[in-house]
Each structure stands twice: as C-alpha cells, then as structure tokens.
Amino acid sequence: MHVRDGLQTHVTVRQRYDHLVETGAVSRDPAQERIVGRLDRLVDEIADKRLAQKSSALGWLFAKRPRAPTAVKGLYVHGGVGRGKTMLMDIFFELLPVRRKRRVHFNDFMADVQDRIQKHRQARKEGTVKEDDPIPPVAKALAEESWVLCFDEFSVTDIADAMILSRLFSALFANGVVLIATSNVAPRDLYRDGLNRQLFLPFIAILERHADVVTLDSDTDYRLEKLSRMPVYMTPLEADTDRRMDDTWHAVTHGHVAAPLDIPIKGRHVAVPRAVGANARFTFAELCDAPLGARDYLAIAQRFDTIFIDHVPMLDQTRRNPTKRFILLVDTLYDTKKRVVMSAEASPEKLYAGRAGVTEAFEFDRTASRLIEMQSKDWLDDWKDRHALQPAPSALS
C-alpha cells in the first residue's frame, strides 16, 4: 500500500508489477521498471489534484479561499510492439484513485469527438445552441465526464482528426484534463506523411508541453514471446478449441478489428473473409471446399505472414477434391515458411482416414509430416526471427 501522511491509500504500480514478477506472469525488465516509477509518481500527483479539487469545492463551507488545483503533466509512453505498454497501462488505470477516468483506444475516442461535433453543428442549425464553434463545448463536456484520459495506441491517420487535434487538446488541457497515452511512435513521428501535416505540427508542441514523453525501449518483444508459447495446432473441434483459436487470433492481431479484403489475380480475385495487417483467417470450407488452386494459395501466402484455418474435418476419399486442395495449401504455406494456426478434428497423423494405398493417402503422409514440423519450436523460432522487427498489425495495412 502507498502511505501518505501516515495513512494507507492505494496499492502502487510497483507493488502490482512486483507481484506479477513473483508469480511468473511477467519477467522483470529494467525498461518497464523505469516506466513503473513514472506511473507511481503520476498516480500520486493525480490523487493530490483530486484532493485539492475536493478542498476547493468545500472551501465555501469553511470560509476559506478556494485553492486552485495544481496542473498535472501527463505521460506519453512510446516504444515497439510487445514491450509491455498495454500491461502497464492496465495496472495504472486499475489503481488510479479517480472516478471520472476513461480508458479508450485513441481512434474510438476521436470517432466519439467527431460524432459530438456533428451533433453540435446540427443543434446550432436547429437553433438549440448558440455557439458556432463546437470545439469548446465538446471539450468541456468531455472534461466533465472524464478529467483523466488514458489512450491506447495513440496514432493519427485521419485528416479530419489531424486538423482539429491542436484546438481540441488545447481546450481539453485548459479544462484540466490529464493525458496518459501509449503509442508505437514518438510524438514527432505522428501523422508523419499525412496530408497538410504542417497544420498538424502545432499539436505536437501542445502534447509535449502537457505530457512527459518517455521511451519504453526494452529489447524483448513480449508479445512475440507470448505467441511462441501458444499452440498453433488445436484439436478436437469443440467450443474450447474455438475459444483458444479466438484468443490466439486476438493476440496475433493485437486487438484490431478484422475486415474482409480481396486479392486480385489476373482479372479475378481471391476473397479473404477476415484480415488484419499481415494476418488472415479462413475456415477449411472457405479455402478447400471452394474451387481454389495453386495460384490462389500462393497469392494468399505472398500477402500474409500468418494464416488461421478453422475447422479442418476428417478427410478421406469421399472428400477427394477438398483433400487435394488441403494438401496443396499446406505445401504452399510450408514452402513459403508461413506461420499457420489451425483447428482440426484430429492430430495431423490421424487427420486422413481414407483407404491406404490411394494417392491421397500417400500424399497426406507428407502433409502430416509438414504440419507437425510447422508446430515445432525451431519452425516458430525461425518465423519469429524473420518477423521480430515488423511493425504492429494495423487495420490499415
């Protein structure tokens, strides 16, 4: 517990982090520990401001002059993917002794802001509000709802957002808002190649004035380490297997929402039902019941680094064409050294239940061997080494 003026107040970020280390949930990391110390100081400063606000609000009762709350400088933590930024934000937000706090993905927050701006403009048109400029009332309303804002994945890609950020955050900070954010990039790299970036640049100065910028520069990608411990071949086909597939998908895609896309191939296209960055997810039926061929599978392999395949059934001679396609698919993904995450009715060596001696049975021996190898530590370590320096998955990739 943290002690202030002889009184126990709250568990510290340090204590929670140490507990995670002691229980083996995380490995101790000096770079993370530096951020832990900054977060604990920030918790104390925010708690002091909260007490000052209460004292100010009650000042009239004791005939004292209200004390102006001390401004609190926020924190902007940036670093590569998988370094532990989200974990530290989780701990900080949970322990923050403030009721009016909000944690949100930055893009979701800006979508909310744009909706509020549109509603204000509509209300102005209808004559129910008098202010022409929607930014001040929107910022005031946001600050009244949550004066501590915690943003995950601070990233600016939308020009409409970029053009209002300087004025919006100037107004938020003027209303006493404290900002804590995590990002993959430093503030000066935000909206780097964006349209009319010169109009965005004042926001960077505002952000740096109201938030300390720190780098989480751990050498270890904990997200990749976690993924390397996750199974990539799951059986049998049941609800728990579906849940584990979903958990792994969520970890691989870093929580981004999947969307369909088409891969063009000589005047036609291959439909990808779910894609996030370099990750794609299909069912067996979508890949092997559909009339796809070698060129289609190669196009998928060239476009994506990780391919999820759900619900591979038992195969035999009654499903000859899907079996042939599955053999071809595995060969393609093996040859192109892709990571494959799969749920199946049986283990690789038992997945083909057809008659021995037929062509598919002979070919499937190779497929089973390759599926087993693609689960091996050596295979996955090699994949990790080749992808360790890639950026976080993005819905815009």
Are the C-beta atoms of 207 and 170 separated by less than 8 Å? no
Question: What pairs with residue 75 in β-bridges?
Answer: 180, 212
CA dihedral of residues 70, 204, 218, 392 (deg, nearest 10): 130
Q: Scanning the structure block, which residue is given the tokens 């990608």?
A: 221
Distance of CA 343 to the CA centre of its chain: 24
Are the C-beta atoms of 252 and 227 separated by less than 8 Å? yes
pLDDT in tens, the chain (397 residues): 554 444 444 589 999 999 988 988 788 888 899 999 999 999 999 998 877 766 555 454 454 554 445 689 999 999 876 678 888 998 999 999 899 999 988 888 998 999 999 999 999 999 898 889 999 999 999 999 999 999 987 888 788 889 999 999 999 999 999 999 998 888 988 888 788 888 899 999 999 999 999 998 765 656 555 555 678 899 999 999 999 999 899 888 877 888 899 998 877 889 999 998 889 999 999 999 999 998 899 999 999 999 999 999 999 888 889 999 999 999 999 999 999 999 999 999 999 987 765 667 778 888 998 999 998 888 887 887 776 544 444 333 3
Question: What pairs with residue 135 in β-bridges?
Answer: none
Give rounded-to-5 percent helix, strand, coil for the chain.
50, 15, 30
Provide the whole-model pTM: 0.56
Q: What domains can be seen in the chain, in order of their start residue? A: 3-215 (3.40.50.300), 226-387 (3.40.50)
Are the C-beta atoms of 337 and 380 separated by less than 8 Å? no
